[in-house]
Structure 1
Amino acid sequence: MSVVDLARFMDDLATESGHAILPFFRAAFGLEDKGRAGGGFDPVTEADRAAEVSLRNMIRRTFPTHGIIGEEFGSDHPEAECTWVLDPIDGTRAFIAGLPSWGTLIGLMHQGVPVRGLMHQPYLGERFSGDGAHALFRGPRGERDLRTRRCEGLAEALLATTDPRLFAEGAEREGFGRVEAAVRMSRYGTDCYAYCMLAAGQIDLVVEAGLKPHDIVALIPIIEGAGGVVTTWEGGPAAAGGRIVAAGDRGLHAAAMAMLNG
């Protein structure tokens, strides 16, 4: 399949998953807590599962030799040369609350390296896509290239994270606290949307912890394609998840890492 056809297929995946999800948004639906006792609320909805089933079925029909890693149904041949990494609804808490700051994440890895990614917000009709070299936004008002913005330092930065309570007590939370105290402004509850707004030049820095591959793989080619950088707190590859720092400016990324690990 050509690059153009692959991009079209990813768009088809996004469209199909949107059809599966939207009937549940701002409607009554079943809700289950996946969290272990004492581990906090970890919700999953009928919409999450319906969307991932549709994505998996389309991938298996089109690319039967490809692997799949999904949030809801686990891994299927993750050792394959090409592996799809899926999060049907990243931001399930926002989805439950009727807030549109969630999205479907569709990522493709080749030999363990993220090479293409797409975030689809079907309620708003927005798509953010990238291949590590180029990133694109498409929405109701047209399409445009995505570019991160320059930021001279932490004092000028807008920081986002999903929830500061996700950082472990001790050094991890203290590191985030130092960064948050140094920036101009911070915003919470943004999930995958924060990374896309970073790629769009609206946000400068995203710091998170406890991520899984399905939370980040699709976003890496978008951020890098827009000129940004995303790594672990230690500066390693971000595809495995864990503690993640993303920035639109390399100097800002370095400053944030120094403070997180200080």
Structure 2
Amino acid sequence: MHVNETYVDLAGRLAEASGKIVRRHFRSLSGVGEKQDSTPVTIADKEAEIVMREMIQVEYPDHGIVGEEGGNTLQNNEFVWVLDPIDGTKNYASGSYQFGTLISLLKGGTCILGIINQPVLKERWLGVRGQPTTFNGDPVQARTCDELTHAWMYSSSPDMFRLDDKKKFARLASRVKHSLFGTDCIGYGLVASGFTDIICEDQM
């Protein structure tokens, strides 16, 4: 499948624009609140998503948008952008670098491009359907791991697992070489770059 380069270009500009906002508010002690489900939300989450939405609506008004903070618009259209301005908000709010901005574009329900952007460290993974994944412009690939006992595994938090899932996770963690926590979306980038092997999350 050929992916229009103008979509890839826009995704990169979305990452740049949102990244400026995320960097500006990073390690600020103000602007942290809570959603109705008691999970944290920051002013950076809200401002970054607003900017990305505005850019998409100007260039592609017929594209849908599914946003972590701003809800859904035209989500049944052929092209739909999925935005999470800060994946790992708890980490971001506590001053940790283990967070990122997630940007993806779906065509007919199939993801055709995706970005993990860590704007403070200026690290960016880009995946485009039919093309090699890149990290800061250079091709990367996952590593080969033939044995579970050789695998390195990341999860966001041990507290995310409940009941039977917690037992299943414990069995898996006991079999891998190393079980680590705290990367959120950055862990997926580390898999793509060949630095770790497994991401295990609740309900995923």
Q: What's the TM-score, normalizing by structure 2?
A: 0.95
Cross-structure match for 1:202? 195
Within the candidate set 119, 123, 138, 1:122 is matched to 119
1:21 paired with 2:18, answer no
Tell me the alpha carbon deviations over residues 106-138 of structure 1, each in whole angstroms, 9 at most, x when there is no partner: 010111111100111111111100023320010
- Distance in 2 separating the partners of 1:67 and 1:59: 9
Unaligned runs of 5+ in 2: none
Question: Displacement, 1:146?
Answer: 1.4
- Is 1:161–1:187's contact at 8 Å kept on the other side of the alignment? yes
The count of corresponding residues between Structure 1 and Structure 2 is 201
Cross-structure match for 2:146? 152
Alignment of 1:217-236 (within 5 A): none
Within the candidate set 178, 186, 195, 2:171 is matched to 178
- Distance in 2 separating the partners of 1:165 and 1:44: 19
Question: Displacement, 1:29?
Answer: 2.2
Report SS of the residue matched to 1:69: strand
Report SS of the residue matched to 1:186: strand
Within the candidate set 175, 182, 185, 1:189 is matched to 182
Question: Displacement, 1:35?
Answer: 4.5
Cross-structure match for 1:231? none
- Is 1:158–1:186's contact at 8 Å kept on the other side of the alignment? yes
Alignment of 1:14-93 (within 5 A): 14-36=15-37, 41-93=38-90
Distance 1:132 1:164, change over 3 A: farther
Unaligned runs of 5+ in 1: 210-242, 245-262
Cross-structure match for 2:157? 163
CA RMSD across the alignment: 1.2
Cross-structure match for 1:135? 133
Question: Displacement, 1:28?
Answer: 2.6
Alignment of 1:103-118 (within 5 A): 103-118=100-115
Q: Counterpart amino acid of 1:188?
A: F
Q: What's the TM-score, normalizing by structure 1?
A: 0.74
- Distance in 1 separating the partners of 2:157 and 2:97: 17
Moved more, 197-206 or 95-104: 95-104
- Is 1:20–1:54's contact at 8 Å kept on the other side of the alignment? no
- Distance in 2 separating the partners of 1:12 and 1:61: 13
- Is 1:95–1:101's contact at 8 Å kept on the other side of the alignment? yes
Cross-structure match for 1:252? none
Question: Displacement, 1:184?
Answer: 0.5
Q: Counterpart amino acid of 2:124?
A: R
Tell me the alpha carbon deviations over residues 86-123 of structure 1, each in whole angstroms, 9 at most, x when there is no partner: 00000111111111111110010111111100111111
Tell me the alpha carbon deviations over residues 148-178 of structure 1, each in whole angstroms, 9 at most, x when there is no partner: 0000111000000001211121x21111111
Report SS of the residue matched to 2:170: helix
Report SS of the residue matched to 1:208: coil
- Percent identity of paired positions between Structure 1 and Structure 2: 35
Cross-structure match for 2:7? 6
- Is 1:160–1:186's contact at 8 Å kept on the other side of the alignment? yes
- Distance in 2 separating the partners of 1:191 and 1:13: 20
